Chains A and B, each alone.
With several copies, the nearest count.
Chain A
Amino acid sequence: MSYITKPKVHHPALQQNAIGLTRRDYEGTITTLCAGCGHDSITAAIIQAFWDLSIPPHKVAKLSGIGCSSKTPAYFLREAHGFNSVHGRMPALVAGANAANRDIIYIGISGDGDSLSIGLGQLCHAIRRNVNVLYVLENNGVYGLTKGQFSASADPGSLSKKGEANTMDAIDGCLLALTLGATFVGRGFSGDKAQLVPMIKAGLRHKGFAFLDVISPCVTFNDHEGSTKSYGYTREHNVEVVQADFVPPASAITAEYEPGTVSNVMLHDGSWVRLRKVAADYDPTDRDLAYRHIRDRQKAGEVVTGLLYLSPDSKDLHDQSNTVSTPLTQLPYDTLCPGNDELQKLQKRFR
């Protein structure tokens, strides 16, 4: 495919990549998310990754479902086609788009509600189909856009902003993906750009479904027990207004730490998450080992991060469907229509 690069005058300070584009060229409209939302940090990492790889933005398609997370495709790659679709159904759109045009680089953005509740079935089957897409699950354990109900990835025992405890086990997207035979499974943290950017790049390069679970704290709604005063304050006001509408000003959480080590990260509400980065010598080619490692650390109250599994031989949707290497969208009509003579011939069958 021929990449069109556009001449542009840039502020000299802005560094250019191999195809002469600056990070700015990979940005989108400005975010409408809460100040300090983890999702915005992920957006920044995505911009960095695409820039590093010198991918022409218009060769990318960015799709999403519905949710705060699913809004973020508007905030990167201005020059890429975007599709903010319906809740939980983005995997089907990507499968169809990818079947139609295999030359596009697909990135799907979703949330834990979008992926693990309403969209769980589609996610599982997109994994099975091994659709060639980087699937980023921006995981905050709540439904942000609908104001803080538990999602299926909320930790058991955690308290909602309304003060109710979650009674159910969390679905671990990585364990699920491994069980379904995913060919690429990774987990990151929105605040750890150093770890996240390389995983995004690896996922974009992967031929097949790259599942990337990114823990992405919700500033506004994942208050837990022992939360700040503002919490009591907002709850107080809940009584007399339709919805608590105060969002405390906050800034994004960051955490950079060494492979093999554990890092305790405090969330906006004062609660903690223990992140365990896979060791440098971790072997990501053994599916069962990956599963066991996640489970073992889980029991120790830790959340494993890093590139957890990478299939040595990944056969994507097109390999499986044995489609031609030319995108179906680019096949000339005359190579598709058998013509009238053939139509007359084949109708002998119907006499």
Chain B
Amino acid sequence: MDRVNNFAFKIATANGTGSASANGLIMQAIFRMGVPVTGKNVFPSNIQGLPTWYEIRVNRKGYTARTPDFDLMVAMNPATYQKDVTELRPGGWLVYDSTWPLDDTLVRPDVTSLGIPLAQMVNTAFKGVRERILMKNIAYAGALAGLLDMDAEIIRTLLAEKFSRKPALMDSNRTAIDLGYDYVKTHFPCPLPIRLAAMNETADSILIDGNTAAALGCLYAGATVGAWYPITPATSLMEAFKSFCQKYRVDPESKQNRFAILQAEDELAAVGMVIGASWAGARAFTPTAGPGISLMSEFIGLAYYAEVPAVIFDVQRTGPSTGMPTRTQQGDLMLCAYASHGDTRHICLYPSDPREAFEFAAASFDLAERFQTPVFVLSDLDIGMNDWMVPKLAWDDSYRPDRGKVLSAEELEGVKTFYRYLDVDGDGIAARTLPGISPKGAFFTRGSGHNRFGAYTEDGDEYVEVIDRIDRKIQQASRAVPAPVIRHAPGAKMGLVTIGGCHAACLEAIDILAADGVPLDYLRVRGFPFGADVTRFLEAHDINFIVEQNRDGQLRSLLMLETGVPIERLESVRYYGGFPMSANHVIAGVKAKLERAA
């Protein structure tokens, strides 16, 4: 079949060798050629020396999910030669550094080896250890440019943009690119059958990671307080927020900040700061990962019961415990839905890509303030840290924050006596007040038993009245969270239901399965509590394949509990090895179930 703009390759290096910039350059060049592209950065949980990979998939149809089989491998890391070479499909190409003889482990009769003396060329061209190491990466980028027929002009432009303020760096990068480029052009038949050809499919898109996008969402929603404790893969969310604030939130005259970012001593403190800031009236958030959610559990229950807004980003990684901090998973679905002891239930949002990470981040603050409760935005390492090709982000300038029921001093003048937990409007949501506004607005917040007037109570009926109202309140939110994405396929009797980042793999799988004669209706949940449409979809299909990335089928569990749809209708399809899900996982899972049924 025609492999133009339809192939995948992988670059194997060691952590800390600075290959990220070269890999980014390649991604960007392909993107600029108008060709749909995705990159997955597979890195270890250390700083230097352990194996790291960068996977690039080029797909003219625009499928962005990870694919596990590769047409070309750039094997720069002897430590992983053996494993890397096996991942090549028969007939594929192996690029290696021929400064040294081809290692036996790399020999595979059914693949073409392309040796390039990268180290040698770079060492003659550059002095200084540091520069040599770095330019070797740029050199293989140049080689790939030649082999895959990248637009050399675009690469030149990219370097120009990047090093406009660093001419010296620009020169060395150009030189390195040419080293690789010229070598392959003169030694190999270029381009290879797998090659690029300009298209016009990326003009309205951007390459962005979900943490950066979510940070933009917080910025645009008007969040002013961010509290955090560093943890992979959530760290870059706050770092991005900080850099955006430094650009857009510094008062031009006073040079003072219109934001406060608090690096807490741990996650308990981080979420405490968020609750304190929200209680005082700011839009506040904290990004973390699974271990952080576990540590925040007690505080989350306080915010739920005392009804204080809080926005918490859970950029999920492979659990349990420390697990694999640099691998992805969807393992915190149950935890976030019901976090903390006692009867609790929390609003959750499930973005599927960086664009939704941006939109849901912004929406989470409206929901948290409207419903006066913690809101979780659950993305994962794949969405949060990898560069995704998504439609440009847009912002509706008519947007105004929904602060929910917050009484102003004037409004308070109007009421006879203010009672914090009185359901005046009958919608389960009681009005709150902020400190410092008016003597009439004072109330006492507590995590201990309280009645609808906000007074301490140990009376069973008074206690029940309040927690029952809170339950109604959260149930209301099922209508306010983003509606599920639903797609119907002609003649489909079965459904496929998924969540978050599995989206890309599922869409691709659905097309392939349809072509295979297995049409599937599709639903992706985007918010919790689930709405009636989720129940309807599940009930409308005898079989629903529930696709997710965790061992225990947590999405399926949530669906069972919240919709009451019997388990026979919910067939679980799971992959949880730590890589982003690919279409094969979905297809294999679905087919296995179908065979068992047959």
Contact = CB atoms under 8 A, between A and B. Distances in A.
* Direct interface between A and B, CB < 8 A: yes
Interface of A: 1, 4, 6, 32-35, 56-61, 63, 66, 68, 71, 73-74, 78-89, 91-101, 103-104, 117-118, 120-122, 124-125, 129, 143-147, 149-150, 152, 162, 220, 230, 233-234, 236-237, 240-249, 317-318, 321-325, 328-329, 331, 333, 335-340, 342-344, 347, 350-351
Contacts of B274: 96
Contacts of B232: 146
B206 A242 contact: no
Nearest to B434: A329
Nearest to A1: B436
A99 B399 CA distance: 25
A47 to B, nearest CB: 15
B20 interface: yes
Nearest to B321: A86
A267 to B, nearest CB: 17
Given A66-B322, A86-B322, A237-B18, A323 B282 contact: no
Interface stretch (B94-102, B219-227, B509-517, B557-565): B219-227
Contact of B21 (A230, A241, A329): A241
B266 A6 contact: no
A99 B48 CA distance: 37
A34 B273 contact: no
Contact of A81 (B272, B278, B445): B445
Contact of B256 (A58, A104, A322): A322
Given A35-B48, A58-B436, A147 B235 contact: yes
4 interchain residue pairs of minimum CB distance: A92-B272, A96-B276, A246-B18, A96-B273
A33 B291 contact: no
Among A122, A150, A325, max chain B CB count under 10 A is at A122
Interface string B262-278: 11111111111111111
A54 to B, nearest CB: 14
With a 10 A CB-CB cut-off, give which of A243, A244, A328 has the most chain B CB atoms: A328
A149 B302 contact: no
B350 interface: no
Given A149-B230, A247-B47, A242 B20 contact: yes
A101 B268 CA distance: 21
A94 B270 CA distance: 12
Contacts of A152: 265
B257 A324 contact: yes
B190 interface: no
B282 A340 contact: no
Contact of A351 (B50, B206, B222): B206
B439 A79 contact: yes
B381 to A, nearest CB: 10
B276 A97 contact: yes
B208 A350 contact: yes
Contact of A245 (B16, B207, B322): B16
B41 A338 contact: no
Given A99-B262, A329-B280, A104 B436 contact: yes
Contacts of A248: 129-130
A337 B302 contact: no
Contact of A322 (B257, B272, B456): B257
Contact of A331 (B16, B224, B266): B224
Contact of B47 (A33, A58, A242): A33
B38 interface: no
Contacts of B395: 337, 339-340, 343
Contact of B442 (A58, A97, A104): A58
Given A143-B230, A150-B263, A247-B47, A103 B436 contact: yes
A193 to B, nearest CB: 23
Contacts of A351: 28, 31-32, 206-207
Contacts of A35: 48-49
Contact of B224 (A4, A100, A230): A100
B302 A338 contact: no
B439 A89 contact: no
A336 B291 contact: no
Contact of B280 (A88, A104, A129): A104
Contacts of B50: 32
Q: Specify which of B169, B254, B278, B282 lies most central, judged by the most chain A CB atoms within 10 Å of its CB.
A: B282
Interface of B: 15-21, 24, 28, 31-32, 41, 43, 45-50, 52, 129-130, 133-134, 162-163, 166, 169, 206-209, 216, 219-222, 224-225, 227, 229-232, 235-236, 239, 248-249, 251, 254-282, 284, 291, 298-299, 302, 321-322, 385-387, 392-397, 399-401, 409, 433-439, 441-448, 456
A312 to B, nearest CB: 24
A117 B131 CA distance: 37
Most buried by A among B18, B24, B392: B18
B280 A100 contact: yes
A246 B16 contact: yes
Nearest to B222: A336
Nearest to B251: A324
Contacts of B18: 234, 237, 245-246
A244 B16 CA distance: 9
Nearest to B395: A340
Given A101-B281, A323-B256, A120 B438 contact: no
A37 to B, nearest CB: 8
B272 to A, nearest CB: 3
A242 B385 contact: yes
A310 to B, nearest CB: 25
Contact of B273 (A93, A325, A331): A93
Given A57-B439, A118-B266, A350-B207, A92 B276 contact: yes
Nearest to A30: B49
- Interface centre among B48, B134, B235, B299, by most chain A C-beta atoms within 10 angstroms, is B48
A145 B280 CA distance: 28
Given A99-B262, A149-B235, A245-B52, 7 more contacts: A1-B436, A242-B387, A249-B130, A322-B255, A329-B434, A333-B401, A340-B397
B46 A93 contact: no
A325 B256 CA distance: 8
A328 B260 contact: yes
A220 B268 contact: no
B272 A324 contact: no
Contact of A230 (B47, B49, B130, B268): B130
A324 B258 contact: yes
Q: Name the residue among A100, A329, A335 with the largest chain B CB count within 10 angstroms.
A: A100
A69 B347 CA distance: 34
B435 A81 contact: yes
A117 B228 CA distance: 12
Contacts of A34: 16, 47-49
B230 A245 contact: no
B27 to A, nearest CB: 10
B450 to A, nearest CB: 10
A111 B289 CA distance: 21
Contact of B230 (A146, A220, A233): A146
B207 A117 contact: no
Nearest to B255: A322
A236 B279 contact: no
B235 A146 contact: yes
A58 B441 CA distance: 8
Contacts of A79: 439, 442
Contact of A122 (B45, B133, B249, B269): B269
A162 B239 contact: yes
Contacts of B31: 351
Contacts of A93: 272-273, 275-276, 279
Given A35-B48, A96-B272, A343 B280 contact: no
B439 A58 contact: yes
B445 A242 contact: no
A79 B418 CA distance: 12
Given A336-B222, A338-B219, A61 B257 contact: no
Contacts of A145: 45-47
B209 A242 contact: yes
Nearest to A113: B230
